Amino acid sequence: MEFSGMGGYKGYPRLFLGISPAVVAWSTITLQPTFALLWQWLGFTALWYADNKVTAAGWSKSLVAGITVTS
């Protein structure tokens, strides 16, 4: 995304958002299952919110816009 110039140069903040899901997931490996699921749910909900905010700010294209529901 940096090469395409989407929203200008963002550098480390965009890199941090990219690796955050892996950090959230791996940080729960030593927790008890119930707490691990709770931590993952809270973490991924926060990451979803952050992704919506940076997409609205123009940092990247929305991946959800291309998904359609067919029955």
Residue 70 is predicted with a pLDDT of: 52
Taking only Cα atoms into account, the Rg of the chain, rounded to an integer number of angstroms, comes to: 15
Given pLDDT bands bounded at 50, 70 and 90, which one contains residue 71? very low
Average of per-residue pLDDT values in the chain: 77
- The whole model's pTM is what? 0.65
Three-state secondary structure string covering the chain: CCCCCCCCCCCHHHHHHHHHHHHHHHCCCCCCHHHHHHHHHHHHHHHHHHHHHHHHCCCCCCCHHHCCCCC
Q: Which amino acid is at 1?
A: M
